[in-house]
Amino acid sequence: MTKGLKYKRALLKLSGEILAGDKGGGIDPDTLGYIADEIAEVHGLGVELGLVIGGGNIFRGMKAEASGFDRVTGDYMGMLATAINALALQDALEQRGVNTRVMSAIEMREISEPYIRRRATRHLEKGRVVVFSCGTGNPYFTTDTAASLRAMEIGANVLLKGTKVDGVFDKDPQAISDANRYDSLSFMDVLKNRLKVMDAAAVSLCMDNSLPMVVFNITRKGSLKGIIRGEKIGTVVTESGNRE
């Protein structure tokens, strides 16, 4: 492990809605810049960092189905939205001097590299941030599942889920004032109680491979760095349900 840090290699999952800030949709330049600053600071510590970002700020496949689109078509459109977000994040990071590669599960050679696991791990070893776009490249699979899969493939020590709340709660904290935050949970707790951490396929994949997850508030400045350093931030989800 890098000296003084709990995690050497991490996969950070962000929803597309995070990039919209308070605007409800699209990409807010100030929020994009803030996220890039947080990532750049962690990268500067020597952490090998992969990113998966959703596309819900631009287009969401499941909502498209409700509007009359074919589900498969809608999911592919959603994958293209993740590519837009990935390119935006790459540009913001490189403006901050962070070497970044976008790797896509759908081949788009003019704007990104095709996803190849060994090439991805080599980029990480060379100190580049890798942004994985277009999910798994398959309809019916969310970017949460893609994040779990990529985390496993690159040998990440932890899967970090950046949200707008301070972890996992027993109720919606944005709607209910007396919601209680969990300090730690087991994977089975999450699945049995249908807690909104990540989708069931993503949680099951982490459980089967004993990959810890941390759910935290990315909008709190310094929280990402704090987790990497081992501070008790957010909610930790592990096999045992105990916080180390």
Tens digit of each residue's pLDDT (9 = 90 or more) over 50-60: 999 999 999 87
What is the token pair recorded at 161? 């889920």
Q: In this predicted structure, what is the pLDDT of residue 1? A: 46
Per the prediction, the chain carries an average pLDDT of 93
Residues 88-131 pLDDT 10s: 999 999 999 999 999 999 999 999 999 999 999 999 999 999 99
Residues 183-209 pLDDT 10s: 999 999 999 999 988 999 999 999 999
pTM (2 d.p.): 0.93
Q: In this predicted structure, what is the pLDDT of residue 65? A: 66
Instruction: Enumerate the domain spans of the chain.
Output: 9-238
* 9-238 is a CATH 3.40.250.10 domain: no
d(CA 55, CA 134): 9
Instruction: Please say if the pLDDT value at position 172 is more than 60.
Output: yes
Those residues whose C-beta lies under 8 Å from the C-beta of residue 36, and which sit 6 or more positions away, are 89, 92, 93, 95, 96, 98
